[in-house]
Amino acid sequence: MNKRIIEAAQVRPSERQLKWQQMEFYAFIHFSVNTFTDREWGLGTEDPSIFNPTEFDARQWVEVCKSAGMKGLILTCKHHDGFCLWPSRYTDYSVKNSPWKDCKGDVVREVSEACREGGIKFGIYLSPWDRHEKTYGTDAYNEYFKNQLRELLTQYGEIFCVWFDGACGEGPNGKKQVYDWEGYYRIVRELQPQAVISVCGPDVRWCGNEAGHCRASEWSVVPASLRDAEKVQEKSQKVDDREFSKRINSRDEDLGSREVILHTESELVWYPAEVNTSIRPGWFYHASEDDKVRSLEELLRIYYGSVGGNANFLLNVPPDRRGLIHETDAARLRELGQVLRKTFEKDLAEGAAAFASETMDSRHDVANILNDDGDSFWCPHEGTEQAAIELDLGCVKKFNRVMLMEHIKSGQRVESFTLEYWKDGCWIEFYRGTVIGYKRICCFDTIESSRLRLNITGSRWFPTISRFGIYFADDPYKIK
């Protein structure tokens, strides 16, 4: 067996990456002076007095997020305009000079506390680009940025994610900044060692577009060079261009297949993907977009493609000028949560009998695939790259979703698989897929059968399966 393939099979996630992957679905909150100027990107010259969300309610944000099934929230503590949603001691361009709460407000504190009270995790976005700060474009700016990072990482409790993007335009002096990425990372690791550093960071990879497009094969094991892809300023977004959010980079559609890793000399790393998009056309709230909120079917499509395709789903939900998530967005998110809860509340494989073509030993019995213990799993003998698992449901059942999970603590192994159901004395193939990874949700037209078979047709070294669930969805998502 090829040494490189065995090497790829043994690349594993860190503990922080594992915890992040288990979150699956969480919110992005874009909120700043742009909310009050009707812009997407502020200029850095906006008067702080315009920021005045008179009905601000962080608990409402958290309630809406939880209704959708989200497990966390990432707040834009500072966007490209440089306006800070906390009273930073390093600048006057912040809420401390806003009439909101008589210049004594702190959005970051209220949101972080609401998240803790509501039982979801809190994360921060801090834009390296700053169109207001006069030191931007000099070495002094990196220290300014690090000081603000320290404030956010020490004053607001546990942070699950620090989200950086690579936007790098000019500051007020007409200069561009050379970002000290490694210095930023050291501060995060020192002050919040369990936090993942996303996009322009070593822990979580951007999927490559803001349109909600998901790859058919999303590998978590990829060449290490991808960690630097978003830090290259020439490739970053430099203008407020709505078309940027719609682009899909098809050139990078295959990042980690066997062919790719066999033809790259780069080190292989665990670098899982995050799909980020907005519930509206823009990232900040615009009243003109109140009738342009994504449909339930579209959100389900993105959910199944991301969470159901070995990626996490970061959905932006922008509060309005009141400081509330708009009623239309809130209703759509509650609707989404209701559908997902109803679909996955009952596993039709419960009580089924499971059989495998072979099993490594008693600790890895095939029955492990029918429980929710993430530490137990089935696997065949080392070197067995093709294997099969059969479920006998005991009676005919109706289903249109299958959920598969690998034991990713052992690595990502499965390269291809098929699903078959039993009818009239023979097996009929109805689904063909590639990667599984942390989770694969297979969507297909409704089938009625008492037996189901998973054929692993390709894997690296030997496959692992920790979960095999069967469900019926009665929702508006149409199988394309």
Mean pLDDT of 192-221: 93
CATH of the domain at 374: 2.60.120.260
pLDDT for 163-182, tens place per residue? 999 899 999 989 999 999 99
Residue 286, token pair as written in the block: 């615009």
Residue 227, token pair as written in the block: 């960690």
Do 335 and 364 reside in the same domain of the chain? Answer: no
Q: Among candidates 403, 423, 404, 426, which has minimal Cα distance to 414?
A: 404
Do 189 and 298 reside in the same domain of the chain? Answer: yes
Do 280 and 381 reside in the same domain of the chain? Answer: no
Task: Count CA within 13 A, CB hemisphere, residue 208.
Answer: 16
pLDDT for 53-86, tens place per residue? 999 999 999 999 999 999 999 999 999 999 999 9
Q: Among candidates 332, 243, 229, which has minimal Cα distance to 40?
A: 243
Which of 163-167, 264-268, 364-368 has the least mean pLDDT?
A: 264-268
Is 283 among the domain residues? yes
Total domains, the chain = 2
Q: What phi and psi, each to the nearest 5 degrees, are found at residue 7?
A: -60, -45
Q: Among candidates 73, 85, 20, which has minimal Cα distance to 48?
A: 85
Residue 276 lies in domain: 3-344
pTM of the model: 0.95
Is 171 among the domain residues? yes
CA 95 to CA 110: how far, in whole Å? 13
Is 20 among the domain residues? yes
Is 74 among the domain residues? yes
Strands (E) in 1-66, as ranges, are 25-29
Q: Among candidates 33, 38, 31, 34, which has minimal Cα distance to 51?
A: 33
Tell me, what's the pLDDT at 264?
85
Is 193 among the domain residues? yes
Do 366 and 308 reside in the same domain of the chain? Answer: no
CA dihedral 349, 352, 357, 362 (to 10 degrees): 110
456 with 387: CB under 8 angstroms? yes
Question: Of the residues 326, 344, 362, which one is the last residue of a structural domain?
Answer: 344
Do 238 and 255 reside in the same domain of the chain? Answer: yes
Do 357 and 322 reside in the same domain of the chain? Answer: no
Q: Is the pLDDT of residue 465 over 90?
A: yes
Residue 127, token pair as written in the block: 């834009």
149 with 201: CB under 8 angstroms? no
CA 230 to CA 234: how far, in whole Å? 9
Mean pLDDT, the chain, integer:
94
Which of 127-136, 197-206, 224-233, 326-335 has the least mean pLDDT?
A: 224-233
Label residue 117 by pLDDT band (50, 70, 90). Answer: very high
Is 479 among the domain residues? no
pLDDT for 423-460, tens place per residue? 999 999 999 999 999 999 999 999 999 999 999 999 99
38: region left, alpha or beta (phi > 0 left; psi from -120 to 50 alpha): left
Do 144 and 279 reside in the same domain of the chain? Answer: yes
pLDDT for 82-112, tens place per residue? 999 999 999 999 999 999 999 999 999 999 9
Q: Is the pLDDT of residue 246 over 60?
A: no
388 with 357: CB under 8 angstroms? yes
Single-letter amino acid, residue 65: C
Do 295 and 405 reside in the same domain of the chain? Answer: no
Is 477 among the domain residues? no
Do 363 and 324 reside in the same domain of the chain? Answer: no
270 with 12: CB under 8 angstroms? yes
Q: Among candidates 111, 97, 90, 201, which has minimal Cα distance to 156?
A: 111
Is 201 among the domain residues? yes
Do 305 and 362 reside in the same domain of the chain? Answer: no
Mean pLDDT of 263-270: 90
CA dihedral 349, 351, 357, 362 (to 10 degrees): 130
389 with 469: CB under 8 angstroms? no
394 with 353: CB under 8 angstroms? yes
Mean pLDDT of 130-156: 98
Question: Of the residues 318, 344, 370, which one is the last residue of a structural domain?
Answer: 344
CATH of the domain at 140: 3.20.20.80
Q: What phi and psi, each to the nearest 5 degrees, are found at residue 386?
A: -125, 135
**Burial letters for 62-94: b for 16+ Cβ neighbours within 10 Å, e otherwise?**
bebbbbbbbbbbbbbbbbbbbbbbbbbebbebb
Percent over 90 (pLDDT), the chain: 89
Do 238 and 371 reside in the same domain of the chain? Answer: no
Burial of 281 (0-12, 13-18, 19+ CB in 10 A): middle
**Burial letters for 140-155: b for 16+ Cβ neighbours within 10 Å, e otherwise?**
ebbebbbebbebbbee
Tell me, what's the pLDDT at 477?
87
Which of 233-247, 276-290, 400-414 has the least mean pLDDT?
A: 233-247
Question: Of the residues 324, 344, 364, which one is the last residue of a structural domain?
Answer: 344
CA 67 to CA 129: how far, in whole Å? 33
CA 369 to CA 373: how far, in whole Å? 9
Residue 288 to residues 295, 322, 329, 471, Cα–Cα distance (Å)? 17, 15, 14, 39
Do 275 and 359 reside in the same domain of the chain? Answer: no
3-state secondary structure 172-197: CCCCCCCCCHHHHHHHHHHHCCCCEE
